[in-house]
Structure 1
Amino acid sequence: MTAIDVRGLTKRYGPETVVDDLSFTVEPGQVTGFLGPNGAGKSTTMRMIIGLAAPDRGTVTIGGRRYQDLPVPLAEVGALLDAGAVHGGRTAHDHLLALAVSNGLPKQRVGEVLARTGLEGVARRRAGGFSLGMRQRLGIAATLLGDPRVLIFDEPINGLDPEGIRWVRDLMRSLAAEGRAVLVSSHLMSEMAQTADHLIVIGRGRLIADTAVSELTRTNGESTVLVRAPASFAPQLVAAGATVREGLESTLLVSGLTAADIGQLASYHGVALSELTPQRPSLEDAFMELTRDSLEFQGAAA
């Protein structure tokens, strides 16, 4: 059964339509990345999924039921939308214990989720003294408390150091491998490229793409070829119709010509190439190409 089913979801705040006739599904057993520029409507959509905001039109179900109809919501879906939503005077242990008791969950789950999120050593510290990264871990621990089959995370790697980012990535992958559905938003495209199986991309509240990561990078963004050659080869590439940018370590990034075209051109001009490597578009390139008409703010080129 589909884990999350969003159908025709629409939300307005005054004259502004924040989410506009949005439909998509989130399936179990995979990490679904939820992407979009600032102001695209991602957080509002997540809030509607778990009943924190009421849609003006459309429906959202989790496992075929509305969130408000779930008998024990934490046992069905865990959601981290705001890492700061914790009583600063409570210890990490007591915060989780209060959630467990109020939801009728086994108390032993507190120790289990503290261990899984690496918080055992700070379980008796007050959450008000936690760094943002530690609060993120505590929020993730709370989502796991009811052992739910559906998990929703809004920017879960904010404030984490490189080790923490890798830990979150591995956790998401392991949760999906257990058959759970994981919906996660992030602005870090490099992390989504390594973490997500499927992508939902929205802009100005509307669906732009609903596709596998590999398909998105294949059909969007411009392929380039990394060329290591004398700098004098650049004007010859431009004259042949290519776009040339300087890369790292005296390389050229060439678009508009294939690697075969570049090799033939180099041979014609007697240019020795020490590297000729086709490069697929990155997820960041594909995302920027896909959402360029949906940006809320656009800066001028430097």
Structure 2
Amino acid sequence: MRASRIPGMTSIDVRGLTKRYGPRTVVDDLSFTVSAGQVTGFLGPNGAGKSTTMRMIVGLAAPSAGSVTIAGRRYRDLPVPLTQVGALLDAGAVHGGRTAYHHLLALAASNGLPRRRVAEVLVRTGMEGVAGRRAGEFSLGMRQRLGIAATLLGDPRVLIFDEPVNGLDPEGIRWIRDFMRSLAREGRAVLVSSHLMSEMAQTADHLVVIGRGRLIADTGMSEFMRANGEGTVLVRTADPAAFAQRLSTAGATVREGSESSLVVSGMTGEQIGKLAAYHGVALSELSPQRASLEDVFMELTSDSLDYQGATA
């Protein structure tokens, strides 16, 4: 049975969420919402507090302060949680000696769900052909699919996935992308964390970005890119050093690119062209370069990295 879409209905509500381990604050006064009918990308550097936040949403960790509700209720107050929210936080959390079918059957039975749901989710995740194989024989990618199947057993309206594309090949990654979007089209709320920015750019409708446990951005994907992703312009000329000085004087930010090119931000291609014409500078290339989600993410979270490697 497909869930009916209810535009604007908030399915996960995080308010003032804080988690401390001794003197260390892992999640710091975090507030955001995850709404039905869209995929919300949950982004942040390693150690930002994403996994801890997800664990608090599903009651695996207790908040030090603040609250999390799912459809207005705390997770622990849900009568049959698997029918309200499905979560994949660790694809390895499966009994390796059980077949895929019996792993799902045990979950269904322990949650009072009908046996038919096992066959239905196996089909939906493309695993019916390996239902009789033991989970311990699966690749990480297949265990990810098995974990996703488990989240769907109760036909929940809220789904949470922590790094679901780990271990997947390119075909599997594309499948995950299309699958997440199909869940959102059914009216479900989908919260997904990932380090693959290129996939998030193609999958997420909304972004929640955190750094060191604090909220950095909570906005739609298009608004996020418009506000932060002004991009750069690639410029080539016979005397790049001289033109770089003129660009800097005009207020642009200039850095050296490959093969004696200039990478310019803070000015549009049209403005750069007019400046070159005014000074009689011949340009052999003037190419606007749109910023990627990865570029914007790295710029936005640069102050929130605990570890930064040196660059050549």
TM-score, with structure 2 as normaliser: 0.90
Please list the CA deviations of residues 70-113 of structure 1 after superposition, one character each: whole Å capped at 9, or x if unmatched: 11111110000000000000011111111111111111111111
Choose the corresponding residue for 2:53, options 45, 55, 64.
45
Q: Which amino acid aligns with 2:121?
A: V
Question: For the aligned residues, what is the CA RMSD?
Answer: 1.8
CA contact (8 A) 1:237 1:262 kept: no
Tell me the SS of whatever aligns to 1:3: strand
What aligned pairs does 1:1-302 form with structure 2 within 5 A after superposition?
1-227=9-235, 229=236, 232-240=238-246, 241=248, 242-246=253-257, 253-267=263-277, 268-269=279-280, 271=282, 273=284, 276-302=286-312
Q: Report deviation, 1:221.
A: 4.5
Shift of 1:291: 1.1
CA displacement, residues 145-176 of structure 1 (integer Å, 9 cap, x when unaligned): 11100000000001111111111000111100
Q: Give the distance between the partners of 1:237 and 1:283, measured in 2 at CA.
A: 29
Q: Secondary structure at the match of 1:200?
A: strand
The Cα of 1:234 is off from its aligned counterpart by 2.8
Shift, 1:250, TM fit: 8.7
Percent sequence identity is 76
8 Å contact from structure 1 (residues 33, 192) kept in 2? yes
Question: Could you tell me how far 1:61 is from its partner in structure 2?
Answer: 0.6
AA in 2 matched with 1:15: P
Q: Sort the Cα spacing of 1:297 and 1:123 in 2 relative to 1 into closer, same or farther, 3 A.
A: same
Write the letter of the residue equivalent to 1:54. Answer: A
SS of the equivalent of 2:10 reads coil
Report the CA distance between 1:263 and its aligned residue.
1.9
Q: Distance in 1 between matches of 2:42 and 2:108?
A: 28
Distance 1:278 1:254 in 2: 9
* Alpha carbons of structure 1 residues 270 and 238: separation in structure 2 relative to 1, 3 Å: closer
Aligned partner of residue 211 in structure 1, secondary structure:
strand
Q: Amino acid of the residue matched to residue 94 of structure 1?
A: H
Distance between the aligned counterparts of 1:18 and 1:92, measured in 2?
A: 35
CA spacing shift, 1:272–1:16, aligned 2, 3 Å? closer
2:189 & 2:78 partners in 1: Cα distance? 17
Report the 3-state secondary structure (helix = DSSP H, G, I; strand = E; otherwise coil) of the residue aligned with 1:183: strand
What displacement does 1:269 show? 3.6
Deviation of 1:142 (Å) = 0.5
